[in-house]
């Protein structure tokens, strides 16, 4: 090769290297943000008629089940009663459900006192993130620190519901509360670590929690105190995420109240976010929160949105609704989808929630 060509190539290579050094490597989070912004979401609802909506639901539900993998609860199980606590207006049963091949499921069951003996409506109450797991939901204020969680987030909605006459089941999900063990065992975020560990075993954390939510619902439905034709599901934060997924795939749930969770994972991963308890691998190829929620239609669904909730960017709330509302309209059930906007932060509100639950499950 002639010497001048060698010199020219060397100069070009040096110039390119210098330019790259000045620019620096492309940050990984910038690449992820670009991928998130351009996520395919290929199965968004595009139809108009009820037939379009039902056909879309069948296709998207099938894809969602494929992405989740196994999540069905066991058909039979053993029940261990750890303790029964008689309170002024209700009884709290502290239980553990056990079945071969599944981790034990701790569960609180709240049963109202008084009134007639006719079966009552049942509510599945799901908790969010936090070291206390299911304790605040049922008002276990004696658990150290749980009283503060209850006060700050109006977190005892399970106890509030049993006082309104509902039988309430509140499972402890993973990796929270008593199912986490010592927090000292985790030097990183427990959700992310648990997600990775389960993946190596061929399991998906959110599918494990979906199984446990459905297991708790099935136990609730089989109780003699419960009318299995009148079931609802409620939750705040991660409990809202799990309420969305559980109601989407369990048609027996007649009404769902989802608080602090009207956001998209597409938006979440654009930030420094990594909750392994919410990850469904490959989901953004096909859809997101609005599409999962679209499977609840035409059943009743209320979303609580706090004006000061930093986890619910206003623009993404509107984007989510713009994709969810057409499903309800197509099915002739626009009035079954509600949004309650309140002046508060990341907390359970409950004002419209209890009105709607009573209207659907007590009629």
Per-residue pLDDT tens listing for the chain (363 residues): 444 333 334 443 444 444 444 555 568 888 999 999 999 999 999 999 999 999 999 999 999 999 999 999 999 999 999 999 999 999 999 999 999 999 999 999 999 998 778 999 999 999 999 889 999 999 997 777 888 889 999 999 999 999 999 999 999 999 999 998 765 666 578 999 999 999 999 999 999 999 999 999 999 999 999 999 999 999 999 999 999 999 999 999 999 999 999 999 999 998 877 799 999 999 999 999 999 999 999 999 999 999 999 999 999 999 999 999 999 999 999 999 999 999 999 999 999 999 999 999 997
Phi and psi at residue 258, in whole multiples of 5°? -120, 115
Q: Is 137 exposed, middle or buried (0-12, 13-18, 19+ CB in 10 A)?
A: buried
Composition of the chain by helix, strand, coil, percent to 5: 45, 20, 35
Contact 290, 320 (CB under 8 A): yes
Q: Is 265 exposed, middle or buried (0-12, 13-18, 19+ CB in 10 A)?
A: buried
d(CA 294, CA 333): 12
Nearest alpha carbon to residue 124 among 206, 222, 218: 218
Domain boundaries, the chain: 28-361
CATH of domain 28-361: 3.40.50.1820
- Cα torsion 56, 59, 64, 67: sign: negative
Q: What pLDDT, in 10s, does the model give residues 82-114?
A: 999 999 999 999 999 999 999 999 999 999 998
d(CA 352, CA 358): 10
Task: Round the average pLDDT of the chain to a whole number and report it.
Answer: 91
Q: Rounded to two decimals, what is the model's pTM?
A: 0.91
CB atoms under 10 Å from CB of 89, counted, come to: 12
């Amino acid at each position: 090769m002639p010497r001048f060509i060698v010199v020219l190539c060397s100069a070009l290579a040096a110039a390119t290297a210098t330019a790259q050094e000045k620019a620096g490597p492309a940050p990984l989070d910038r690449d992820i943000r670009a991928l998130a912004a351009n996520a395919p979401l290929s199965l968004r609802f595009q139809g108009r008629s009820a037939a379009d909506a039902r056909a879309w639901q069948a296709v998207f539900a099938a894809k969602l089940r494929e992405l989740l993998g196994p999540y069905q609860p066991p058909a039979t199980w053993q029940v261990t009663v750890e303790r029964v606590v008689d309170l002024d207006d209700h009884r709290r049963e502290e239980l553990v459900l056990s079945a071969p091949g599944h981790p034990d499921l701790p569960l609180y069951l709240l049963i109202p006192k008084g009134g007639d003996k006719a079966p009552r409506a049942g509510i599945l109450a799901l908790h969010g993130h936090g070291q206390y797991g299911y304790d605040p939901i049922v008002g276990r204020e004696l658990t150290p620190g749980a009283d503060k969680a209850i006060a700050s987030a109006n977190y005892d909605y399970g106890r509030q519901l049993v006082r309104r006459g509902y039988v309430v089941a509140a499972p402890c999900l993973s990796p929270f509360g008593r199912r986490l063990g010592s927090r000292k065992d985790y030097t990183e975020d427990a959700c992310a670590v648990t997600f990775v560990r389960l993946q190596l075993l061929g399991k998906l954390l959110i599918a494990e929690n979906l199984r446990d939510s459905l297991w708790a619902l099935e136990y609730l439905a089989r109780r003699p105190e419960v009318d299995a034709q009148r079931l609802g599901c409620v939750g705040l934060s991660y409990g809202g995420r799990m309420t969305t997924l559980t109601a989407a795939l369990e048609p027996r749930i007649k009404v769902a109240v989802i608080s602090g969770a009207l956001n998209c994972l597409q938006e979440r991963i654009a930030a420094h976010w990594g909750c392994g308890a919410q990850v469904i691998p490959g989901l953004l190829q096909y859809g997101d929160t609005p599409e999962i929620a679209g499977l609840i239609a035409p059943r009743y669904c209320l979303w609580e949105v706090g004006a000061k909730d930093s986890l619910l960017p206003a623009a993404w709330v509107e984007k989510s609704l713009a994709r969810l509302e057409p499903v309800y309209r197509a099915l002739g059930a626009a009035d079954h989808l509600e949004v309650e906007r309140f002046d508060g932060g990341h907390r359970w509100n409950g004002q419209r929630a209890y009105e709607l639950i009573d209207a659907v499950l007590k009629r």
